[in-house]
Chain A
C-alpha cells in the first residue's frame, strides 16, 4: 500500500487560496488519490478524488502531475469553517490507509 506524506499543519487566513501537497512515491498503477476532510467529533467527509491531471468540483481542485508521485489539494478562498484535518489517501479497492493528515487552521 502506498504511503503518503503531508505537512503536519498549515495556517491560512480567510479568503486565501490554500494548497496542501501530498507525496506518494510508491503509488500503484491502479491507485486513485482521494482527499477527505474531518471536523472534530465527525466522520471524514469525501472532498475529491482523481487519477491523473486535474479534477475540479464545487469545493476543491486536485492537481496530479504526470508521474503521479504527488498531488495537491487546492481550496479556493477558505473560510473559518474550513478549519479541519485533511487526509490524502491512495489506494485501490477497499484499502483506505489513513496517514496523519494535515491540520489546517484558518484565521480571521
Chain B
C-alpha cells in the first residue's frame, strides 16, 4: 500500500474564490487520480494527473475549473476555481502502482464547503 496525505483536511470558502488541494505520497507511484464525492453520493473520477504533462479529464470536468499539477512522482495538486456552493464536496486523491493488480489507494480526502 502507500501512505497518502492531503492538505487541507477541510476548508470553508467563499463563492468566487479558489482553493488548491495538495496530495503527497510517501513513495513514487506511477498514477495519481483525483475524485469528487458529493454529499451522500458515490465517488466520481475528475481526472488523471500525469507527471510532466497535462492532466486527462473525464467527461464533465474541464481544466479551467479544475487545474491539476503533478510536478513529480510523489505530489499533485487540484485547484477548484471560481467556486460555487455546488462545488461543496469531498475531494480525494488516489494513487496506483503498476503491479499486476493495479490497485488504487485513496487519501483521507479534503472536505470543502462553499458558502
In contact, B31 and A94 (Cβ under 8 angstroms): yes
**Docked CA distance A46–B111 (Å):** 21
Whole-angstrom distance between the alpha carbons of A93 and B96 in the complex? 9
- If over half of B's interface residues share one DSSP class (helix, strand or loop), that class is named, otherwise mixed; here it is strand
A94→B42 contact, CB < 8 A? no
Number of interface residues of A (CB under 8 A): 21
A-facing residues in B12-59 (Cβ within 8 Å): 31, 33, 42-45, 48
Q: How far is the CA of A34 from the CA of B96 in the complex (A)?
A: 13
> In the complex where A43-B108, A43-B109 touch, is A98 in contact with B43 (Cβ < 8 A)?
yes
**CB pair B107 A43 closer than 8 Å:** yes
Cross-chain contact A41 with B104 (CB below 8 angstroms)? no
Query: A46-B1, A94-B48, A96-B45 given as contacts; is B109 within 8 A of A32 (CB)?
Result: no
Q: How far is the CA of A58 from the CA of B106 in the complex (A)?
A: 20
Is B82 at the interface (CB under 8 A from chain A)? Answer: no
CA distance A49 to B101 in the complex (A): 8
Residue of A nearest to B44 (CB): A98
- Per-residue interface assignment for chain B, residues 73 to 115, with 1 indicating a CB less than 8 Å from any chain A CB and 0 otherwise: 0000000000000000010101010000111111111010000
A42 touches B109 (CB 8 A): yes
Q: Does A54 interact with chain B (Cβ within 8 Å)? A: no
Also in contact, A46 and B108, with CB within 8 A (given A98-B44, A100-B42): no
Q: Select which of B43, B103, B111 is within 8 A of A34 by beta carbon.
A: B103
B104 touching A96, Cβ below 8 Å: yes
Q: Is the CB of A94 within 8 A of B96?
A: yes
Question: Are A44 and B43 in contact, CB atoms less than 8 angstroms apart?
Answer: yes
Chain B positions within 8 Å of A, measured between CB atoms, are 1, 4, 31, 33, 42-45, 48, 90, 92, 94, 96, 101-109, 111
State the A residues within 8 Å of B (CB).
Answer: 32, 34, 36, 41-46, 49, 87, 92-101
